Amino acid sequence: MRILILGGTRFLGRHLVDAALARGYEITLFNRGRTNPDLFPGVERLRGDRDGNLEALRGRSWDAVIDTCGFVPRLVRASAELLADAVSHYSFISSVSVYADLSKSIVDENAPLHELDDKTTEVVDGETYGGLKVLCERAAAAAMPGRVLNVRAGLIVGPHDSTDRFPYWTRRVAQGGEVLAPGRPERRVQFIDVRDLSAWVLRMAESSQTGPYNVTGPRDPLTMEQFLDACKRVSGSNASFVWASEPFLKEREVIPYSEMPLWIPEDLPGFNSVDCSRALARGLTFRPLAATIRDTLDWVASRPQPLDPDRPGVRMPASMRPERESALLQAWRELTARP
């Protein structure tokens, strides 16, 4: 099978390439050549830019394309229209953020989508990200009707995750001591190992499956407490968890999901209770949680600090700085010690 991957050298893209090569596929990468340019020396590379320089794609053909880096509908439309006669199948990596109302307890593929008031905006931020992904899905479908797979992924985790959301917890728990933990221990969390996602996307492309699919995990409900306990077991640390309430964290302006990874306030339960039954019926599988934690921890140990993928060489701070955690732990002790 001949596959074109738009991107292919960052987190999900590089794992897709690894999985595709292991299956014996013929891979072509299209990107700007700025990130990890020395990866995959035996793979064909086409240089260009989605914003106005797609010439390297003209006159070629593949069995399928996987779009790992579509965030602006204008650029997705341009790529899809150019490739409409060059490929049979288009896999678009979307997000569970496409849903309009994540306050529902269960969210499936039929839930209402996030509609932007300004459909011309190209500013990608926390307010527009989900709505732009909706428009990207529609742009691909308009260019290639009946041939698009929309992969609505949840939090993607595993080795080479530059966001530091999942890696933060593996690293912090391994360090031991008192660890600040968010909200109720019983609160659900969802995420998917990048390698499980990659394998499933390739299988779906092989069989030319189309339509929207929520793709996250694990198969059975997982609580934050169970996740942190698994991190402790895998690392063998002496960590103890101090569970600070959501009102406490909000009052102190702790930023959900970024400064405090995996914490989504409980007024948005749908973000961590996405229904993936459609993807499960199409063969989505999951490796053991301990394997994901162990492999992520091993990768974390191999690099000194998270990197900003958009600014080569620029280091990003850890999600929760040690001094910030210490101050919050002290404030929580003082609060809970009051009569």
Q: Domain of 306: which CATH number?
A: 3.90.25
Q: What is the pTM of this model?
A: 0.94
Q: How many helices (H) and strands (E) does the chain have?
A: 10, 13
Based on the fold, state whether residues 93 and 179 are members of the same structural domain: no
Kindly give the residue spans of alpha helices, DSSP state H, lying in the chain.
11-22, 73-83, 129-143, 165-175, 194-206, 224-235, 246-251, 277-281, 289-302, 322-337
State both tokens at 155.
Answer: 């939090």
| Residues 295 and 208 grouped into a single domain | no
Please state at what angle helix 165-175 crosses helix 289-302, rounded to 10 degrees.
Answer: 80
Q: What is the mean pLDDT of residues 91-97?
A: 97
pLDDT above 70: residue 309:
no
- Shared domain for 97 and 209, answered yes or no, is yes
Regarding whether 175 and 71 lie in a shared domain, the answer is no
Domain of residue 231: give its range: 165-190+221-271+291-337
Residue 252: inside a domain, yes or no? Answer: yes
Encode pLDDT of 26-78 as tens digits.
999 999 999 899 899 999 999 999 999 999 999 999 999 999 999 999 999 99
The predicted structure's pLDDT at residue 304: 57
Beta carbons within 10 angstroms of residue 111's beta carbon: 18
310 and 181 share one domain: yes
Beta bridge partners of 5: 29, 66
Q: Do 151 and 225 lie in a common domain?
A: no
* 3-state SS string for 172-233: HHHHCCEEEEECCCCCEECCEEHHHHHHHHHHHHHCCCCEEEEECCCCCCEEHHHHHHHHHH
**Position 277 in a domain:** no
Residues 95 and 208 in one domain: yes
* β partners of residue 162: none
pLDDT per position as a tens digit, 216-259: 999 999 999 999 999 999 999 999 999 999 999 999 999 999 89
pLDDT for 163 equals: 86
Residues 32 and 130 in one domain: yes
Tell me what the pLDDT averaged over the chain comes to.
93
Q: Would you say residue 331 lies in a domain?
A: yes
User: What residue has token string 């490796």?
Assistant: 287
- Return the C-alpha torsion angle 193, 199, 203, 204, nearest 10: 30
CA dihedral 20, 23, 25, 27 (to 10 degrees): 20
How many C-beta atoms lie closer than 10 Å to residue 281's C-beta? 9
Tokens of 136: 């990207």
Number of domains in the chain: 2
Residue 314 lies in a domain: yes
39-48, 103-112, 209-218: segment of lowest average pLDDT? 103-112
Task: Indicate the length of the chain as a whole number.
Answer: 339
Instruction: Indicate whether 283 belongs to any domain.
Output: no
Pick the closest to residue 92 from 14, 28, 145, 149 (CA basis).
149
Q: Are residues 171 and 232 in the same domain?
A: yes
Contact in structure between 49 and 75 (CB atoms under 8 Å)? no
Please give the average per-residue pLDDT across 313-317, as a whole number.
Answer: 47
pLDDT exceeds 70 at position 193 = yes
Q: Mark which of 173, 200, 215 sits at the end of a domain.
A: 215
Looking at residue 312, what is its pLDDT?
A: 46
Tell me how far apart the alpha carbons of residues 205 and 310 are, in angstroms, rounded to a whole number.
28
Among the listed ranges 85-99, 141-155, 157-171, which one has the minimum average pLDDT value?
A: 157-171
What whole-number percentage of the chain has pLDDT above 90? 87
Q: Is the pLDDT of residue 314 over 80?
A: no
Residue 57 lies in a domain: yes
Are 184 and 127 found together in one domain? no
CB atoms within 10 A of CB 20: 23
Task: Please state, for a pLDDT cut of 70, what percent of the chain lies above it.
Answer: 96
Supply the pLDDT for residue 311. Answer: 45
Reported confidence tier of residue 318, pLDDT bands at 50, 70, 90: low
Same domain, 102 and 138: yes
* Domain shared by 119 and 48, yes or no: yes
**What CATH number does the domain containing 114 carry?**
3.40.50.720
- 279 found inside a domain: no
Q: What are phi and psi of 166, to 5 degrees?
A: -70, -45
